[in-house]
Amino acid sequence: MASQDASNRSHATFDLFIQAPSCEEVMQHFADLCRQLDIDPKDFRNFYTQLKEKLNYWKAKALWSKLDKRASHADYQQGKACTKNKCLVLGAGPCGLRVAIELALLGAQVVVLEKRESFSRNNVLHLWPYTICDLRGLGAKKFYGKFCSGSLDHISIRQLQLILLKVSLLLGVEVNTGVEFQGLIEPSGENGSWMAKLQPRSHPASAFQFDVFISAGGGRFVPDGFKHKELRGKLAIGITANFVNGNTAAEAQVAEISGVARIYNQKFFQELLTETGIDLENIVYYKDDTHYFVMTAKKKSLLKKGVIKQDYSDAEQLLAPENVDHEALCHYAHDAAHFSTGGKLSDLEFAQNHANQPDVAMFDFTCMHRAENASLVRERRGRKLLMGLVGDCLVEPFWPLGTGIARGFMAAFDTAWMVRSWGMGVPHFKVLAERESIYQLLSQTTPENTSKNYAAYSINPKTRYQSVNLSSIQPHQVQNLYDGDKSH
Ligand code: FAD
């Protein structure tokens, strides 16, 4: 009877873990589950197998079959391709977690560091068809029943992080929240290896020694050694706004706007301008946990409506917090949302952001960043470290086009492919040359020019890019991506 009770308890905890709506609760229920089943989450190599054996629960089995299917792909060599590798992943954003999952499937030990304690971004991400297929394959619907039902092709950043966090934990990834990465520590002494300087300093993860470092720190986070290029375009001011979704029948009726650009709908934008004084280049509206709007606004109308106080030619000065009237920004975003949904969202009330403020923000897309390279190798005292970038810190996306996750996941797969080669002993210049050859294609990828056989997508670039030449860059061309303290 006692054991029946114990198993009922673990089933209930598993349900709580699957449905947990916040990062903190995911971590809590996961820890409870491990304790109740007496499984050590640090035993990453056996964790998933033990969990499957000990949690004899029909609801879990449907998820195991999805994860088993993914794990059985030949690329992972039955989880043995990278058994010797230890990987540190910086950032538990969607791309950091997505790459962590692939590295775990390759058999590596994976530790993720995330400086935040919670996932708070309501903003909604557009998903290309392949990412929907990919996430379904990881059991997204089991964690989030509403995931891309019908023709929906988007998800809030927060929900996506929650799904990927749960999958990561189940596959034995160690995820540490509330820990900030502050830099690499070079190997010292005879047997020393690469380690990380963390805040808090005494965090147990500061003792982790690794040979692969993946940065998925987002936005403009550039780890030491990498260079960013600035791509300066014409002034582009993005506004995001989230409103409370009461999930009423009336709200459900309101049609989404999956991208109305000025060139396609002059009449709509002209009417918006005439009636409200709001002048936009484009607008997107998605319904998710919130009613989410993203729009690109014209400077002149922002000045006229008092959102921007003073005109400056420099975009940074123009959008500096002290030059923005937050209340006027709220009105601007509210009125644009009201008009574009034909007034059908009657009580538009702002959702709150992480700081308990109305969730509206203005961002500058005038200057986009892109890393010059996707990979580096450092060597100190005979210890090599493979470094890679994924997600926004590799290529910054333009949100209204929704390229963040699509290109971010592509880079996560490409990076996992690189680590696979590293783990299989391919010489480092060859690893770097291949990674850079693939990186050349990333910024040009669109849903049209990538393979339509989504079910066949794997970490192997040939399954995704229609024509990829893995040796378009040769090892002798990437000598600058090796930084060693001795001749090689
Ligand atoms: P992120 O999601 O930014 O994750 C990076 C993670 O690294 C963060 O969790 C961060 O806390 C962590 N981190 C950074 N530095 C450290 C450190 N030193 N130590 C430990 N952890 C660290 N895209 C859209 O398409 N539409 C939107 O409306 C939209 N809104 C956004 C709003 C905000 C405020 C931000 C930051 C991004 C937004 N994006 C939006 C971009 C979108 O979130 C990303 O494209 C997507 O999340 C993939 O990014 P990523 O995983 O590379 O980085």
Q: What is the CATH number of the domain that holds 415?
A: 3.50.50.60
Place of tokens 């297929």: 133
Among 23, 102, 119, 125, residue to substitute to test ligand 1 (most atoms within 8 Å of Cβ): 125
CA 330 to chain centre: 27
**Do 359 and 400 fall within a single domain?**
no
ipTM of the complex: 0.98
CB atoms within 10 A of CB 461: 20
* pLDDT of res. 2: 52
Total structural domains within the chain: 3
Considering the domain architecture, whether residues 205 and 273 belong to the same structural domain is answered as no
pLDDT of residue 441: 95
Residues 170 and 239 in one domain: no
Which of 296, 268, 292 has the alpha carbon at shortest distance from 282?
296
Predicted TM-score (pTM) of this structure: 0.95
Contact 174/97 with Cβ under 8 angstroms? no
pLDDT at residue 260 in the model: 74
Residue 97 neighbours by CB under 8 Å, 6+ apart: 112, 161, 164, 165, 167, 168, 173, 175
Helices (H), 341-478: 404-423, 428-442
Rounded average pLDDT per 10-residue block, the chain, 488 residues: 75 97 98 97 96 94 97 97 98 98 98 96 94 97 92 93 98 98 91 93 96 94 88 89 94 87 84 96 92 95 97 92 97 96 92 95 88 97 96 89 91 98 98 98 92 96 94 97 77
- Name the region of 178 (left: φ>0; alpha: ψ -120 to 50; beta: rest): left
Burial of 252 (C-beta count, 10 Å sphere; 0-12/13-18/19+): exposed
Distance 406 CA to ligand 1 centre (A): 14
Cα 382-388-392 angle, rounded to 5 deg = 155
CA-based torsion, 455, 456, 462, 468: positive or negative? negative
From 364, 389, 415, give the residue that closes a domain.
Answer: 364
Residues 212 and 92 reside in one and the same domain: yes
70 within some domain? no
Chain mean position to CA 14: 25
Same domain for 270 and 344, yes or no, is: yes
CB 34 within 8 A of CB 50: no
What atom of ligand 1 comes closest to residue 181's alpha carbon?
A: 19
Q: What is the model's pLDDT at position 16?
A: 98
Residue 484: Cβ within 10 Å count: 13
Task: Mark whether 225 and 90 lie in a shared domain.
Answer: yes
- Ligand 1 centroid to Cα of residue 37, in Å, is 34
176 and 215 inside one domain: yes
Query: Does ligand 1 come within 6 angstroms of the Cβ of 400?
Result: no
Hey, what amino acid is at 135?
Answer: L
Residue 75 lies in a domain: no
* Cβ pair 405, 126 in contact under 8 A: yes
Tokens linked to 402: 């929704």
Provide the domain limits for residue 44.
2-65
